[in-house]
Amino acid sequence: MLEKEAIRRSVWTLMEKMGISRFPKPIEGRIPNFIGSEEAAKRLVTQAEFHDAGVIKVNPDYPQISVRRRILSSDKLLIMPSPRLSRGFILLNPKTIPKRYLTKASTIRGAFKYGRDIALRDMPKVDFDSCRICCCDSGWHTNR
């Protein structure tokens, strides 16, 4: 088994044992939702990198829904890969979404409704990518 896959499996197992995984389940094979994801989103938006960014990329996974909602509420452009990149990327501009629908727009279904498909070549420069989910003090990281 590859080291990355072994790490994933051990994290999924540990999360289930600790009782911190949340809907959707099963968590194996995905970026798992967890108790505390909303608090993590609150902490993320206090970072200087978030404040300085105008265009932010966030994965469509469920635990990042609070991050997507906060990006849109902060009048920042949101770029989200479609699930499994089936439709490439989606660009959401909060200036074109009625305020009362920002929460809905932060969901996958809402992103398809309120965002627009965007080709990689037409994508604006991403200032901040919140898709890194595992890192250490020295900066090494892995995606899902």
104 shares a domain with 92: yes
Residue 125, C-beta contacts closer than 8 angstroms, at least 6 positions apart: 55
Residue 50 lies inside a defined structural domain of this protein = yes
For the chain, the domain total comes to: 2
The SS3 of residue 22 is strand
Residue 44 lies inside a defined structural domain of this protein = yes
Residue 140 lies inside a defined structural domain of this protein = no
Range of the domain at 52: 36-135
Question: Residue 7 corresponds to which tokens in the numbers above?
Answer: 């790490």
Residue 63 lies inside a defined structural domain of this protein = yes
102 shares a domain with 87: yes
Each residue's pLDDT expressed in tens, for the chain with a length of 144 residues? 578 889 889 999 999 999 999 988 998 988 888 899 899 999 999 999 999 999 999 999 998 999 999 999 999 999 999 988 888 999 999 999 999 999 999 999 999 999 999 999 999 999 999 865 555 555 554 454
Express each pLDDT in 18-29 by its tens digit. Answer: 999 998 899 898
6 shares a domain with 65: no
124 shares a domain with 75: yes
β-strands 55-57, 128-129 pairing: parallel
CB of 135 closer than 8 Å to CB of 141 = yes
Distance, in Å, from the CA atom of 28 to the CA atom of 127, rounded to the nearest integer, reads 30
pTM metric for this prediction: 0.82
106 shares a domain with 48: yes
51 shares a domain with 12: no
50 shares a domain with 9: no
9 shares a domain with 52: no
Residue 142 lies inside a defined structural domain of this protein = no
